[in-house]
Amino acid sequence: MKRLVSKIDSSAPVNPDGNAAALIPSRPTISRLREAASVCKACTLWKNATQTVFGEGSPASRIMFVGEQPGDQEDRAGRPFVGPAGKVFDEALAEVGLDRAQVYVTNVVKHFKWVPAPRGKRRIHKKPRYSEIHACRPWLEAEISAVKPQAVVCLGATAAQALFGKQFSITRHRGQRIDSPLAPFAIATVHPSSILRAQDSESRHQQMRAFVNDLRQVALQTTKNQAA
């Protein structure tokens, strides 16, 4: 299988507000990290969010999935991928014989970034800025160090560019194994919300098949590594 070589993107401008590094506890287990992150103010996103949405799953998971940031429902529930995109994700996991209890799921940014809808009460998701991703990054790095997954799977361009470099293109490189210091197996695929935006049911079905195929590769690879 052709592999891409990625370097952790070190071209991030220094965040004038700093980042969350100073908040990382000593002996950082997932539960200690979650507690410390609950009061994170390393960027300004905490101001409009209900709470920090930290990663979730067994610290012994072999697979870590990384999304962009919590959405509206995740912000209210305090848990990642529990809204509509999470349902698509769960469906795809089930198709490859995995469930949430076996994997660790997190986001590059731990607070919901949103703007009010022009009319009504809806909160519209807003893509995080590079400085916000940079501010939040120590949490993700600490999660990866604590879980030590066999596979890191980026869901969508924001996660993939944060972890594999700004030039990373999901269109060109989805489903390709990436050489990364983060885990023995690293890969990026589409964000499940993109499947929800498909134009019609045929294209939704086809995009779901491709997403499931990417996840199947991950499931097979981690089973293989476990057997080795």
CA dist 58 → 61, 94, 102, 157 (Å):
5, 17, 7, 25
Count CA atoms closer than 13 A to 135's CA, side-chain side. Answer: 20
CB of residue 146 vs ligand URA: minimum separation in angstroms?
Answer: 19
165 forms part of the interface with ligand URA (CB under 6 A):
no
55 forms part of the interface with ligand URA (CB under 6 A):
no
Largest CA distance in the chain: 56
Lay out the site mask for ligand URA across 180-209 (x = CB under 6 A, - = otherwise).
-------------x----------------
Listed residue (78, 158, 79, 69) closest to 113, CA to CA: 69
Among 19, 55, 74, 144, binds ligand URA (CB under 6 A): 74
CA dist 47 → 116, 127, 169 (Å):
14, 16, 31
Q: Which is nearer to ligand URA, 81 or 168 (CB)?
A: 81
Among 57, 62, 64, 70, binds ligand URA (CB under 6 A): 70
Amino acid at 18: G
Cα distance between residue 194 and residue 156, in whole Å:
8
67 forms part of the interface with ligand URA (CB under 6 A):
yes
Among 80, 128, 149, 165, binds ligand URA (CB under 6 A): 80
CB of residue 135 vs ligand URA: minimum separation in angstroms?
Answer: 17
68 forms part of the interface with ligand URA (CB under 6 A):
yes
N- to C-terminal Cα separation, the chain: 18
Cα distance between residue 109 and residue 123, in whole Å:
17
Tokens (6 digits) for 41: 């103010």
Q: Which is nearer to ligand URA, 68 or 132 (CB)?
A: 68
Q: Which stretch binds ligand URA (CB under 6 A): 18-26, 81-89, 205-213, 214-222?
A: 81-89
Interacting residues toward ligand URA by CB under 6 A:
67-71, 74, 80-81, 83, 85, 107, 193
